[in-house]
Amino acid sequence: MQELLREMVETYGNRIYRLALRYTGNRPQAEDITQETFLKVYQNLDRYDQNRPPGPWIFKIATNLCRNWLRDNREIALNFDEETRSANPGPEELYLAQEEKAELLQAIYRLPEKYREVIMLKHVSELSYNEIAETLNLDLSLVKNRLYRGRLMLRDSLTKGNGGSVKNE
């Protein structure tokens, strides 16, 4: 059992952590969510069908936890981003890149949940269409559609939302 858990942490741990980090913007919280995800995985290991890849199941647990976190901490999420703001500013370009990233995160928080979840799973956790569909219990066509519309909204939100300060790519 522990061997299986270790394998899962090795395979999915970083991607879950990144997902949680993007949702919470803060490393300790992200680690907490990742810990909780794998605790739930471990508690339910006996009920998981070993013939199927565990990815969607694990990402479903993680997405649920992130969704709950965001629901309880919306204010924090909208006003605070430790990872992108506190860390070493470094050279000017790097600092600009960080500012840009913070704006991107604000934009992602402003998206409706159903688009945000698909975008996060695709761009942060790098899942395939099929994996996203299975994780969120959606039709494949719906995944493609939400991905497309979510990306459009993200771009619009970025260009409208902050006076064009992210124009220079």
Partner 1 sequence: MNNCPDLMMIQAYLDGEAVPPDMEKHLQKCPACKKAYQELRELVVTADKLKSDAELPEGFYNRLVSKPIHKPFPAALVAAVMFLFAFLSTQVLYPGYFEWWLTAGITHQVGLAIDFIMGIFYTAQTLGYLGLVMITLALVALEVLILIKFKILEGY
What is the distance between the alpha carbons of residues 142 and 123, in angstroms, rounded to a whole number? 17
Spell out the residues 6+ positions from residue 140 whose beta carbon is closer than 8 angstroms to its own.
129, 130, 133
If one asks whether residue 165 binds partner 1 (CB under 8 A), the answer comes out as no
3-state helix, strand, coil in the chain (%, to 5): 80, 0, 20
Mask for 69-108, x = binds partner 1 (CB under 8 A): --------------x----------------xx--xx--x
| Interface residue with partner 1, options 4, 42, 76, 110 (CB under 8 A) | 42
Residue 5 contacts partner 1 per CB under 8 A: yes
**Helix or strand or coil: residue 91?**
coil
Minimum CB distance to partner 1 smaller for 34 or for 138: 34
- Binding segment (CB under 8 A) for partner 1, from list 41-49, 66-74, 86-94: 41-49
Considering the complex, state which of residue 31 and residue 73 has its C-beta at the smaller distance from partner 1: 31
b/e 69-89 (16+ beta carbons within 10 angstroms → b)? bbeebeebbeeebbbbeeeee
DSSP state of 53: -
Position 151 contacts partner 1 (CB under 8 A): yes
Query: Which amino acid is it at 40?
Result: K
Query: Interhelix angle for 140-161 vs 129-136, to 10°?
Result: 100
Number of chain positions touching partner 1 (CB under 8 A): 52
User: Applying CB under 8 A, which residues contact partner 1?
Assistant: 2, 5-6, 9, 13-14, 17-18, 21-22, 27, 30-31, 34-35, 38-40, 42-44, 47, 57, 60-61, 64, 83, 100-101, 104-105, 108, 119-120, 122-124, 126, 128-129, 141, 144-145, 147-148, 150-152, 154-155, 158, 169
